[in-house]
Structure 1
């Protein structure tokens, strides 16, 4: 997929490039982010700089993570090193925690992360970013609406799954507004949404073993049509279900985040 109507740059399918071009939508997103001078903020995938320009105007300085060398060259031509720090590479491998340093005696400053995330890698990027939750103040992203609906879904709904549980365990999330395909060049075939994620305090997370929680949630949704008795057979037996007061005939989609945390803590304590 290539498109020449993007200020001379050809949108590259392998990078999932769809460039935001509607000035009203851009203004609305920036107003939702509310960047303040001096804040430590990083933009993932700045592209042609539609959001980069107003962010720099309000912040003074912005970090960006970009993989496309042609776009990186454009960024260097448009802004000085005092205005922008460019981190060339794959956001899936980038150490976002390094941007806020190591805290010493006081808590490190909160990192703010924003961006129009490539739809083709949106789920793995969200899980990667969750690893840095303790260093993050908030995150505001544009994503495919379908993904956002999964992120904020409630138990018992079709959209509720592994992404819902693992992100809701770490973040308070809210869908802000939708963005139509016509706001982009080239226009995607799907509706987009803006979502905000605010990390929950560590003391509210509850799971004694986060890795175990992840394995249990992955197993519970690995085969959605099967009951917990089957999907969690490597973790739980009938006595365990009875001790927790859970019906082994339920499916994973019926359990709340708190239920999964209780299962993980029960298994960890044995």
Structure 2
């Protein structure tokens, strides 16, 4: 494995670049090499994998991933960090530095054409807390070649992403991720391994792409959003605005084989897809 960055090296790099981690960009750099090794190992990469890393920052995780992959696309929104990463990798990664391809872009808007070839097969990233869910969902939608991933997110977000139906933390993130993939918790990450130290703990989420339910994803996600906008209400009431009235909602739910008195947290993503499909043609909106 490449020579990894220690805490003193990371701080020296940041000072040289005049980089001060900002909450706006959700920058919290991992300074513990053992944690970086654990994340890279937990990703279970194949030597043929093309990795997509979001927010490589100063390069801690990048250096651990390069020897384990065939190619690495690094998407970095901060131009200063994007410009500095090649030199850091050249110094510390040896021959593996040739595998790195940097994209100065916003991961919530980056397209498959911008990423280009080779197409990514695995997502491995320490994601900014404030955009973790939309980034994961966008990338799974935009990059159908992504087959699996391991992301580090806020611990509570990890719970939401992995929660099954019926769990108190099951909601919009859980249901939408389930459209694309099966997800599980892959371990905790204590706050003390970061600089600056956040006021919350982190967690690892591993996911494997699955065959999506039959139906239209956009229409299904509208149902998910409506169902959880008023999660304490029954589906008959929560979906009234989406369907046009409580009576229309009940009719659609019955046609989909879903109890109108149930609540959103009890439904699988297949149930939501069935509800979307049961809405009469011409009323999809």
TM range (shorter): 0.7 to 0.9
Deviates more, 1:92-101 or 1:50-59: 92-101
Deviation at 1:38, TM superposition (A): 4.3
> CA distance change for structure 1 residues 33 and 114 in 2, over 3 Å: closer, same or farther?
same
> CA distance change for structure 1 residues 258 and 71 in 2, over 3 Å: closer, same or farther?
same
Structure 2 distance, partners of 1:127, 1:170, is 8
Cα-to-partner distance string for 1:162-208 (whole Å, 9 max, x where unaligned): 1111111210111110000001111111110111111113xxx2232
Deviation at 1:83, TM superposition (A): 3.5
Structure 2 distance, partners of 1:162, 1:70, is 34
Structure 2 distance, partners of 1:52, 1:89, is 17
> Conserved in 1, the CA contact under 8 Å of 2:189 and 2:203?
yes
Structure 1 distance, partners of 2:49, 2:250, is 52
Matched with 2:233 is: 226
Matched with 1:126 is: 136
SS in 1 for 2:261: coil
Structure 2 distance, partners of 1:38, 1:250, is 45
53, 72, 84: which is aligned to 2:63? 53
> CA distance change for structure 1 residues 181 and 96 in 2, over 3 Å: closer, same or farther?
farther
> Conserved in 2, the CA contact under 8 Å of 1:41 and 1:113?
yes
105, 115, 129: which is aligned to 1:89? 105
After TM superposition, the score normalised by the length of structure 1 is: 0.86
Matched with 1:105 is: none
Deviation at 1:123, TM superposition (A): 2.0
Deviates more, 1:18-27 or 1:226-235: 226-235
Number of aligned residues = 258
Superposed CA RMSD: 2.3
SS in 2 for 1:15: coil
Cα-to-partner distance string for 1:90-139 (whole Å, 9 max, x where unaligned): 111111465465xxxxxx96621111000011122122123135211211
SS in 2 for 1:154: coil
Structure 1 distance, partners of 2:201, 2:215, is 38
Following superposition of structure 1 onto structure 2, how do residues 151-166 of structure 1 map, counting pairs within 5 Å?
A: 151-166=161-176
Following superposition of structure 1 onto structure 2, how do residues 178-189 of structure 1 map, counting pairs within 5 Å?
A: 178-189=188-199
- 1:200 matches 2:216: no
> CA distance change for structure 1 residues 109 and 11 in 2, over 3 Å: closer, same or farther?
closer
Matched with 1:113 is: 123
Structure 1 gap ranges (5+): 102-107
Matched with 1:250 is: 262
> Conserved in 2, the CA contact under 8 Å of 1:116 and 1:143?
yes
Structure 2 distance, partners of 1:221, 1:239, is 19
Cα-to-partner distance string for 1:19-76 (whole Å, 9 max, x where unaligned): 0111221111111123343431121111111111121233364220111122123212
201, 211, 214: which is aligned to 2:218? 211
Structure 2 distance, partners of 1:46, 1:238, is 48
Structure 1 distance, partners of 2:232, 2:208, is 32
> Conserved in 1, the CA contact under 8 Å of 2:52 and 2:120?
no
Matched with 1:27 is: 37
